[in-house]
Amino acid sequence: MTTDLMINDPFASAVTEFAEWKLPSRRKVGVLSLIGTEATVFSIFVVAYVFYTGKSLTGPYPSDVLTVPIVATVCLLSSSLTIVLAERAFKRESAGGFRLWWGLTIILAIVFLAYTASEWYRLITVEHLTISTNLFGATYYSLVGLHASHVVVGLILLTLVLVLSVLGRVRPADAERLEMVSWYWHFVDAVWVVVFTVVYIIGR
Amino acid sequence: MATASPEIVFPQARERFSVISLLHELVVTVDHKKLGLMYICSGLLFFVVAGLLATVMRLQLAVPNNDLVEPDTFNRLFTVHGTTMVFFFGMPFIAGLMNYLVPLMIGARDMAFPRLNAFGFWIFLFGGLLLYFSYLGAPGLSGHGTAPDVGWFAYAPLSDRAFSRGHSTDYWILSIFLGGIGSSASAINVIATVISMRCRGMTLMRMPLFVWLMLVTAGMILLALPPLTAAQVMLLLDRFLSARFFDTQAGGSAVLWQHFFWLFGHPEVYILIIPGFACVSEIVPVFSRKPIFGYPVMVAATVMIGFISMGVWAHHMFAVGMTSLSNTFFALSTMLVAVPTGIKIFNWLGTMYGGKIRFEMPMLCCIAFLFQFLCAGLTGVMLASVPFDWQLTDTYFVVAHFHYVLIGGLAFAIFGGIYYWYPKATGRMLSKRLGLWHFWLFLIGFHLTFDTMHIPGLLGMPRRIYTYGPGRGWEIYNLIETIGVFFQIAGTLCLVINLLWSLSKGAEAGPDPWDAWTLEWATSSPPPEYNFETLPAVRSRRPLWDLKHPEDPDWKYE
C-alpha cells in the first residue's frame, strides 16, 4: 500500500501482458485537437456568412464585386501537394529536394496571400466595400480574413522551417515536427475549399 | 525542488525558505501538481469574491424597496458574479482538478505539454484579473461605465456600442476570451495526456472514471468554446470597426448572438457538471467499499451527455419566438439528456446499494450531491417543457434551478473532491469536526436560499430586478433567502479555516488514507515532483486493490 510496493513491482506479470505498449504520439494528438477546435471556430464564421447571405440592406452585393479566384485557389491547393513532396524528399534525406519543394510551398502561399491582398485592395478602394458597409462586408472580411490570418501563421511556420533547414538545424529526428506543420497546412487548405465554396460559389 | 532524494543533497536544498523564492518557483514552474493547485487556489479566491458580490445582491433584495445599491451597481454585481463563477471559478477549478489528478491517475510523470499548461494558467489568471480591473479601467477616456453590466450572456443589442458606452463590455469580452484560450490549452493538454501518456496496461476501459469524464469534458471544451470565441470576435468587430453582425438596423440579427452564445452556453453547463460527476464517481465506490456499478454504462452515458448537450442550446430561447418545430425539437432533446443523467444517478445508487458505507466527509458531500442534483435535474425537465418555460422564463425559478445545479450539484461534488484529495495534495487530513460544521452550515444555508427561491419565481418575480414593491407576497421568501446566505458564508468560512489550519496541524495522512484503489494513492502524499519512482503497470480498473489483495485480484474477473 506504500511506495515500496510499487517499487518492488508486483505487476511484473502486467509488464509481460503488455510487452508492446505503444500509444499514439502526443504531438499528433495535440495538433489534431487544435485543428478540431480551430475547425469549429471556422464553422461558426461560415454559419454567420451563410445566415447573412442575401440579407444586406445596401450594396455592394457579392455578385457585383466578387470574381472567382481560380489562380489563387489552384496555388493554395497545389501547395498541399508540394509540401507532401517536400516531406518525402526529407524522408529520403535529400536536403536539396526538401528545400526545393518546401520553398515552392512558401512561394505558392505568398502568391495566394498576394491575391487576397489585391482583392481586398480593389474591394476597398474601387468598390468601396469595407467591414462596416453592410452585412456582406462584415461576414466576408471576417471569414476570409480569419482564413488569411491562418495562412499567415502557416507561412511563418514554413519560413521558419526553411531558415532552420538552410542553417542545418533540421535533423532527421525532426520528421514528426515537419509532419505537424504539414498537417496544419493541409487543414488551412481544406478550410479554403469550404470558404471558396461558400463565398465564391454559393454566396455569389 | 530541493530534496529529490534523501541521499543526494543539492546545494539548493540548504537555501533558506523565502517569499521571493516561493514566488519565483510559482512563476517558473511547469509541474502539473503545482499548476493544478495554483488553478484551484485562484479558482477558490474568485469563488469567494463572486460569493461576496452575491451577498450584496441578496442584502439588496432582502426587503422591498431597499436602496442599499443603485440599479446600475446591481447590474454590475450580477454580471460580474455570473461571469466570475462560470469562467473564473468553475473553469479553472476544473482545470486544476484535471491537472493535478489526471497524470497521477494514469500513472504518468506530467501532462503531455507542461509549458502549454503553465501558459494556460497564466493567461486564465490575467483574464480573470482583467475582468476586475474593469472597475478601474473601463471608464477609459470617455468616462462611461465601469464594470460590465450586460449580464453574463451579454445579449445583443444591449452589448453593442450604441447601448453599452465606454469599455465595460470590451473588458467582459477580452477577459473571457483570454480565459477561453487558457481553457482550450488545458483541454488539448488533457486529451493528449490521456491518449498518449497512460502507463503500461492502462487500456481505455481500465482508466478511472474520473479520467474518462475529464476526457469527455476536454473534448466538449474544444467543441463548445469556439462558438463563444467566434461570437465575441464578431461583437468586438461590431464595437470597434462598426461591423453589422448584431445590428438589426443594418439587417443583422440579435437572435444570432443568442444562438451562438447558448451553443456555447449549454454545453458549458455540462462542462462544469461532468467534472462534478467525475469526483462523485471516484468517491462513491471508495466509501461504499464496492467497485463502481456499471462502469461501461457510466462511460457510455457520459459520452451520450456530451453528445446530446451539443443539441439542446435553444431551450434557453423558447421565449424569443422560434418556430414550433424548433421549440419541439429542443424541448425533446433537452428531455433526452435526462436519460443518461438518470443512468448515472442509478449507477451511483447501485454502487452504494449493499455497500459498507463509510460516512466520511467526502461521502457526505456526495450523498448531498445525489439528492440535490436529482432535484435540480427535475426542475430542469420542468423547464424543458415549452409552455412551462414561457410562463417562467427569466424568473427566479430559473435562477433557483441553475443554482441548484451549480451549487447543490457542482459545489457539493467539489467539496467532496476537496475532502477526498486534500490529504493527497498536502499530506494532511482535513479536520472532520470543522468539516461537519462546514457541511451542515452550508447545506442548511443552501436549502434556505435556493429551495425558497423557487417560490417567488413561481409567483412571477423576474430575475435581475434590483428591487421590488411590497404586497406581492415575495417579501418573506426573499428574506429567508438572504438569511440562508449567512449560513453559507459561515460554512465557507469553516472550510477556509479548515484548509489553512489543517495544512500544518492536520493529522498525517500517509500515502493512502482512504484505502482507495486508483494510482494516485500509490505514491507518497504529497507526491514527489516525478510522481512515481518507477512507472506503474496495471491489469485492472483497481490497481491498488490488486496490490492489496493478491489472493483475489480484480483482473481475474474483468
3-class DSSP assignment, residue B5: coil
Collect contacts of B330-335 with beta carbons under 8 A, ≥24 apart: B331/B384, B331/B385, B331/B386, B333/B308, B334/B380, B334/B381, B334/B384, B335/B381, B335/B384
Cell readout for A38 is 480551430
Q: Which residues 361-390 of chain B have a CB within 8 Å of chain A? A: none
Residues of A in contact with B532 (CB under 8 A): 6
Predicted local confidence at residue A19, as pLDDT: 72
Reply yes or no on whether the pLDDT at B35 is more than 60: yes
Tell me the pLDDT of chain B averaged across its residues. 93
Mean pLDDT within A115-123: 96
Tell me which residue in B184, B196, B550 faces A23 most closely, judged by beta carbons.
B196
Q: Domains (ranges, CATH) in chain B? A: 11-556 (1.20.210.10)
**Residue entry with cell 462523485:** B280
Within an 8 Å CB–CB cutoff, is residue B552 touching chain A? Answer: no
Under a CB-based contact definition with an 8 Å cutoff, are residues B133 and B140 in contact? no
Strand partners, A47: none
How close, in Å, is residue B38 to chain A by CA atoms?
23
Tell me which residue in A7, A139, A141 faces B534 most closely, judged by beta carbons.
A7
Beta carbons of B195 and A26 less than 8 Å apart = yes
ipTM of the complex: 0.92
Helix (H) or strand (E) holding B48: helix B32-61
Sign of CA dihedral B543, B547, B553, B556: positive
Q: Picking from B33-42, B219-228, B533-542, which range would have the lowest pLDDT averaged per residue? A: B533-542
Q: Quick: pLDDT tens for B74-97.
A: 999 999 999 999 999 999 999 999
Residues of A in contact with B511 (CB under 8 A): 1-3
Q: Scanning every residue of chain A, which has its alpha carbon at the shortest distance from the alpha carbon of B553?
A: A11
Beta carbons of B548 and A34 less than 8 Å apart = no
Beta carbons of B226 and A44 less than 8 Å apart = yes
Mean pLDDT within B107-134: 95
Sign of CA dihedral B302, B308, B310, B315: negative
DSSP labels for chain A? --HHHHHH-TTHHHHHHTSS-----HHHHHHHHHHHHHHHHHHHHHHHHHHHTT--SSS--HHHH----HHHHHHHHHHHHHHHHHHHHHHTT-HHHHHHHHHHHHHHHHHHHHHHHHHHHHHHHTS---TTT-HHHHHHHHHHHHHHHHHHHHHHHHHHHHHHHHTT---GGGHHHHHHHHHHHHHHHHHHHHHIIIIIII--
In a mutagenesis test of the A interface, which of B109, B119, B196 is the best target, namely the one with the most A β-carbons within 10 Å? B196
Beta carbons of A17 and B539 less than 8 Å apart = yes
- Give the type of residue at B109: R
Q: If you count residue pairs, one on A and one on B, with CB atoms under 8 Å apart, how many are there?
A: 154
Number of other residues whose CB lies within 10 A of the CB of residue B536: 25
Q: Scanning every residue of chain B, which has its alpha carbon at the shortest distance from the alpha carbon of A25?
A: B196
- Whether the link from the prior residue into A60 is cis, omega within 30° of 0, is yes
Cell readout for B124 is 486564465
Residues of A in contact with B250 (CB under 8 A): 57, 134-135
Residue B124 vs residues B93, B147, B467, B555: alpha-carbon distances, Å: 11, 19, 34, 42
Residues of A in contact with B187 (CB under 8 A): 33, 37
- Domain residue ranges in chain A: 26-202
- Give the type of residue at A128: H
In a mutagenesis test of the A interface, which of B241, B244, B256, B520 is the best target, namely the one with the most A β-carbons within 10 Å? B244
Predicted local confidence at residue A9, as pLDDT: 52
Residues of B in contact with A180 (CB under 8 A): none
Q: Quick: pLDDT tens for B382-408.
A: 999 999 999 999 999 999 999 999 999
Under a CB-based contact definition with an 8 Å cutoff, are residues A134 and A65 in contact? no
Under a CB-based contact definition with an 8 Å cutoff, are residues B395 and B461 in contact? yes
H helical segments located in B62-167: 71-83, 91-105, 114-137
| Phi and psi angles of residue B183, each rounded to the nearest 5 degrees, phi first | -65, -40
Task: Please write down the HEC assignment for all residues of B284-340.
Answer: HHHHHCCCCCCHHHHHHHHHHHHHHHCCCHHHHHHHHCCCHHHHHHHHHHHHHHHHH
How close, in Å, is residue B541 to chain A by CA atoms?
13
Number of other residues whose CB lies within 10 A of the CB of residue A71: 11
**Residue entry with cell 430575475:** B463
Question: Residue B140: which residues within 8 A CB-CB, separation 6 or more?
Answer: B166, B167
HSE of A122, CA atoms in CB hemisphere, 13 A: 10
Question: Residue B41: which residues within 8 A CB-CB, separation 6 or more?
Answer: none
Query: Angle at Cα B164 formed by Cα B162 and Cα B166, nearest 5°?
Result: 105
How close, in Å, is residue B511 to chain A by CA atoms?
6
Tell me which residue in B191, B253, B544 faces A29 most closely, judged by beta carbons.
B191
Q: Quick: pLDDT tens for B314-328.
A: 999 999 999 999 999
Beta carbons of A40 and B222 less than 8 Å apart = yes
Tell me which residue in B196, B263, B522 faces A25 most closely, judged by beta carbons.
B196
> How long, in residues, is chain B?
558
Predicted local confidence at residue A2, as pLDDT: 43
Q: Quick: pLDDT tens for A55-104.
A: 999 989 999 999 999 999 999 999 999 999 999 999 999 999 999 999 99
Predicted local confidence at residue A123, as pLDDT: 96
How close, in Å, is residue A169 to chain B by CA atoms?
22
Q: Scanning every residue of chain B, which has its alpha carbon at the shortest distance from the alpha carbon of A8?
A: B534
Number of other residues whose CB lies within 10 A of the CB of residue B320: 14
Reply yes or no on whether the pLDDT at B229 is more than 90: yes
Is it true that domain A26-202 has CATH number 1.10.10.10? no
In a mutagenesis test of the A interface, which of B222, B286, B558 is the best target, namely the one with the most A β-carbons within 10 Å? B222
Gyration radius from chain B CA atoms: 24
Reply yes or no on whether the pLDDT at B490 is more than 50: yes
CA distance B27 to B7: 28
Beta carbons of A11 and B201 less than 8 Å apart = yes
Cell readout for A4 is 515500496
Gyration radius from chain A CA atoms: 23
Q: Quick: pLDDT tens for B122-159.
A: 999 999 999 999 988 877 666 666 889 999 999 988 99
Beta carbons of A135 and B245 less than 8 Å apart = yes
Cell readout for B43 is 479558482
Reply yes or no on whether the pLDDT at A8 is more than 70: no
Within an 8 Å CB–CB cutoff, is residue B512 touching chain A? Answer: yes
- Whether the link from the prior residue into B139 is cis, omega within 30° of 0, is no
Q: What is the percent of chain B where pLDDT is above 70? A: 96
Q: Scanning every residue of chain B, which has its alpha carbon at the shortest distance from the alpha carbon of A21?
A: B200
Q: How far does CA B5 lie from the centroid of its chain? A: 36
Tell me the pLDDT of chain A averaged across its residues. 91
Q: Which residues 104-143 of chain B have a CB within 8 Å of chain A? A: 112-113
Beta carbons of B193 and A26 less than 8 Å apart = yes
Q: Which residues 218-257 of chain B have a CB within 8 Å of chain A? A: 222-223, 225-227, 229-231, 233-234, 237, 241-245, 250-253, 256
